[in-house]
Amino acid sequence: MTRKYFGTDGVRGRVGEIPITPDFVMRLGHATGRVLAARDTARVNIKGSERPAVLIGKDTRISGYMMEAALEAGFSAAGVDVCLVGPMPTPAIAYLTRALRLQAGVVISASHNPYYDNGIKFFSSRGTKLPDELESEIEAALDEPLTCVPSAGLGRARRIDDADGRYIEFCKGTFPFEMDLRGLKIVVDCANGAAYHIAPHVLHELGAEVTSIGTEPNGLNINQDVGATAPAALRAAVIAQGADIGIALDGDGDRVMMVDAMGNLYDGDQLLFAVVRSRLRQGPVAGVVGTLMSNLALEHALGELQVPFVRAAVGDRYVMDMLRQKGWLYGGENSGHILCLDRHTTGDGIVSALQVLSALREEGGDLLQLLGGLKLYPQRLINVALSKGFPWKQNPLIDATLREVESELNGCGRVLLRASGTEPLLRVMVEGQDSLIVSRAAEKLAAAVREAVSS
């Protein structure tokens, strides 16, 4: 079944436009509630008459208030109870859903997108992304009329007041008990997003001297010139503060980038490699999953360590799917999504940063030394606006230019064209050993895409 609304990471779009409208969001809550209620009945709830319950969290976008209320109404009409936690990182919802034994978790967030976008993503009772078949089942339920259960069966809503404290303790628990962060000066950038009241406390309670930026959300400034997608603010703060290290999260707290004392930036590929090298000190690593966007240097470096590496489609859900298929524990994306399944069921920016920090504590040195000589190959990514439904795969101009570029790289690089799963963009990526050749090739291919789209 082709999914109409669900993309690679839930439902996402511009606020006020389908599907991010109050009426659609209420219908989505109702459809999800009906599906969950049917499954809960099917498994014969041993507690008898208790209703299924879901957890709803959000980031700091102003539209979150509207969407939270709409979802709550839809779930209640379907006879599903709702637990509210307010602004919380996406991975916190995954953890709390599992810890509280709820049927599902819902996150209202558009992750790294600007404030005028928003989205809804779901977690299962196990704290993992919903499988494709369940999302398809929810989409099918959206076509059914919105009805209401009898008043006695309506879902109730309650707020969980200690959610932030629970999650802070969970994050700290992923850091070795015998270690601390005393003596480290850390700058943390929370992107004016969902982790603004979480990440600084985690680092402080582990003993670090913490300076925080991006911790003053106003509903309109999430990801604006701060966070993992705009690391210049972190680099400047680290240098100005004379800090040892910097940590940048994105708006919903599931991505991380890091900066060393000199202001050098380390992306998801590099941080994943640092974690894997650290784990190898404890024993064998069965393998690592990256994506089509993972830097070729990561694959080569892991090969030198005799660690198998495979590529999944872009999107942390696809990395997770492949990890499950192979029974492996570690994977990620260069954008900063890192999966350490020995610590959490989903990508978590704070937890991932703590794994890197624990490796630094154990091995000493700095981030550059921790990478063991890994140097990423030059990679140029250009986003080209794409009208919906444009058949770029069958375009003669794009196809001809692609062949020319691949010929110019002469086997010393690779090219990737990929439509974004969350935005109307075609991502043009070229990678190779020579930065000048890479840059020229990317510009040439992007220009061809623009010309094809405009004509």
Annotated catalytic residue, options 63, 111, 294, 352:
111
Residue 417 sits at φ, ψ, to 5 deg, of: -110, 125
How far is the C-alpha of 180 from the C-alpha of 201, rounded, in Å?
Answer: 14
Joined together, the tokens standing for residue 242 give: 């004379």
Identify whether the C-beta of residue 10 lies closer than 8 Å to the C-beta of residue 94: no
Nearest to 360 by CA among 343, 344, 372: 372
Nearest to 24 by CA among 71, 85, 61: 71
Identify whether the C-beta of residue 442 lies closer than 8 Å to the C-beta of residue 380: yes
Question: Is residue 111 annotated as a catalytic residue, yes or no?
Answer: yes
| Helix axis angle, 268-280 to 296-304, nearest 10° | 10
How far is the C-alpha of 133 from the C-alpha of 124, rounded, in Å?
Answer: 12
Question: For the chain, first and last CA: distance in Å?
Answer: 32
Instruction: Tell whether omega for the bond before 19 is within 30 degrees of 0, i.e. cis.
Output: yes
Burial of 133 per CB tally in 10 Å (0-12, 13-18, 19+): exposed
Sign of the torsion formed by the C-alpha atoms of 99, 101, 103 and 108: negative
Q: Give the active site residues.
A: 111
